[in-house]
Amino acid sequence: MSHDFLQMHLKAVISCLLIFLYKVHTTKAGQFFSSGHTNNWAVLVCTSRFWFNYRHVANTLSVYRSVKRLGIPDSHIVLMLADDMACNYRNPKPATVFSHKNMELNVYGDDVEVDYRGYEVTVENFLRVLTGRLPPSTPRSKRLLSDDRSNILIYLTGHGGNGFLKFQDSEEISNMELADAFEQMWQKRRYNELLFIIDTCQGASMYERFYSPNLMALASSQVGEDSLSHQPDLAIGVHLMDKYTFYLLEFLEEVHPASQANMNDLFKVCPQSQCVSTPGHRTDLFQRDPGSVLITDFFGSVRKVEITKDTINLTSPVEPPIQRSGSGDIQIESLTYVDQLPVAEIIHQKPKQKDWHPPDGFILGLWTLILLVFFQTYGIKHLKHIF
C-alpha cells in the first residue's frame, strides 16, 4: 500500500511538474506572440492630381517618411501617388516636397520608391492591391503580400464627400466598396489587424460601413464637416499640408521605435481647437482595448529578438563554376559587331514575308466571273485543255 501511495505521489508530482513546465513554456511562447502580429505592411495612397493638390502628396509622403523611420522597409510599403509634385515643372525647388513653410522639412528625401504613380493610381488598382487579385506578371514591389499575421496601415488622402473618395478627378470609390474589400481581405486572411486613416472632407463617412473584425479607423472630420489645409508657402504658391496630417506628423515625429505611446494618444491628435474639424475614430470592431495597442504596432516594424548562446556552424561557401562549357571548344571564328547602318543591305532588303491570307471574296468573285464568261463563249469541251 505504501508502494501504491508512493506511486500515486510520484505521479502527482510528475503531473504537477509537467503542468508547471507547460505553463512556463506557454507563457514564454505567449509573450513572444502577445501582440499577435509578426510583420507590418503599409498602403499609402494619394488620390489627387494637379499642382494645386500639392498638399495631398505632401500628406502621403510625410506618413511614408514616418513609417520608414520607424522601421517598415520599402519592400513592405505600397506607395501610390497620383501625380508628381517633386519634379513638376512648377516646383521652384525640384526633387523636393515640403511639409512646413519656409522649406523646413523635405519629406520627399533622397531614398524614395513610389510603386504606383501617375495614371496607375485608379480605384481598380487600389482594390486589386488590397485583395491581392493582380495579374501574374505584376512585380513584387507592387503587391501587398500580407498574411494572417500582418498588421496593415492604410492611409488615404484626397478630395472626398459623404460616402465617397475621388480618385484623380475622374472616378470615385464608395464606402461600401471599401468595406467589401476589407471583408474580402478578412475572408482570405490577409490581415491580422488593420488601421485605417483617412484625411479628406467628411472622412468619417468612409468608415461607417465597415463590418469586418479587427478594424480600427480614424478620420480627420465628421460627416458634414470639411477638412482644412494648414498653411501656404509663398515661394511655392500652394498649401503645403492638411491640418490633420500636419499635427499627425508632429505627433509621429516624437515617436521612436521603442516608444510606448498607444492609440488613445493618437485619438487625441488635432482636437477641434487646432483642426477646426472634429476628428473621429471607430474602435467597436477592434478586439483589443485601444489603450493597449502601441503606435508602433502599426506605424513601426518592431520585432522581438531572441538571443541565443549556442554556436551555429555556417556551411562552406558555394564554389562558383570555374569553367564554362564553351571554353573547351576551340572557337577560331571571331565574332563581329553588326554594321549600324548598312545602306546597301537596307536598300535591297526583301519585303517581310507576309502571312498568307486566303483570297478575298472580291478576287474569288472576279475569277469566277472570268471563268464563267470563258466557258459561256467557248463551250465546255475546252475544259480538258485547262486541267
Partner 1 sequence: SISQSSLFLNKKQHSSSKDQFQEELVIRPLHSGDIYASFQFRTLWDTDFLQEGQKKVSHYRLFPKSLGQVLSKFSVQELHISFTQGFWRTMQWGQPFIPSPPGAELWVWFHDTVSDVDGNWKELTNVLSGIFCASLNFIDMTNTVQPSASFKPLGLGNATDHRFLRYATLPREIVCTENLTPWKKLLPCGSKAGLAVLMKSEKLFHSSFHSQAVHIRPICQDEQCTSKAWELRQTLNVVFDHYTSGQGKKEWSLFKMFSRTLTEACPLASSSKVYVDITDNPELSPATPLLSQAVVLGDRRTYSVYDLTRAETFGQLRSFNLLLRWKGDNMLRPLLHAERYVAGFGLQTGEIHTVIYNNHPYRAFPVLLMDSVPWYLQLYIHTLTVTSKSRDNKPSYIHYQPAKDRHRPHLLEMLIQLPPHSMTEVTVQFERALLKWTEYTPDPNHGFYVGSSVVSALVPSMVAMSTNFTQDQPLFSSFVPVKEESSYFVRVYTEPLLVNLPTPDFSMPYNVICLTCTVVAVGYGSFYNLLTRTFQVDEPSPPLAKRLANFIRRIRGVPLLA
- For residue 65, the minimal CB distance to partner 1 (Å) is 13
Closer residue to partner 1 in complex, CB, 167/244 = 167
Closer residue to partner 1 in complex, CB, 82/270 = 82
Give the chain's radius of gyration (CA, Å).
34
Determine contact, residues 123/178, Cβ cutoff 8 Å.
no
Give φ, ψ of 323 to 5 degrees. Answer: -120, 145
Helix (H) or strand (E) segment spanning residue 281 = strand 280-282
- For residue 321, the minimal CB distance to partner 1 (Å) is 6
Catalytic residue among 46, 201, 270, 275: 201
Which positions touch partner 1 (CB under 8 A)? 49-50, 84, 86-87, 93-96, 108-115, 117-120, 135, 137-142, 168-170, 318, 320-322, 324-327, 331-332, 334-343, 346-347, 349, 352
The C-alpha atoms of residue 331 and residue 336 are separated, in whole angstroms, by 13
The answer to whether 239 is a known catalytic residue is no
Closer residue to partner 1 in complex, CB, 97/270 = 97
C-alpha torsion sign, points 262, 263, 265, 266: positive
List residues bridging with 46 in a β-sheet: 81, 157
Q: How many CB atoms neighbour CB 161 within 10 A? A: 16
190 Cα distance to chain centroid: 13
- For residue 157, the minimal CB distance to partner 1 (Å) is 17
Cα angle vertex 218, ends 120, 35, to 5°? 95
The answer to whether 256 is a known catalytic residue is no
Closer residue to partner 1 in complex, CB, 120/208 = 120
- For residue 201, the minimal CB distance to partner 1 (Å) is 20
The C-alpha atoms of residue 63 and residue 287 are separated, in whole angstroms, by 25
Cα separations in angstroms, 188 against 148, 181, 225, 286, 340: 8, 11, 35, 18, 54
In what order do the strands lie in the sheet containing 116-117? Answer: 116-117, 77-81, 39-46, 150-157, 193-199, 215-219, 280-282
DSSP state, residue 95: T
Give the cell for residue 27: 507563457
- For residue 155, the minimal CB distance to partner 1 (Å) is 18
Helix (H) or strand (E) segment spanning residue 171 = strand 171-174
The C-alpha atoms of residue 159 and residue 161 are separated, in whole angstroms, by 7
- For residue 345, the minimal CB distance to partner 1 (Å) is 9
Name the residues annotated as catalytic: 159, 201
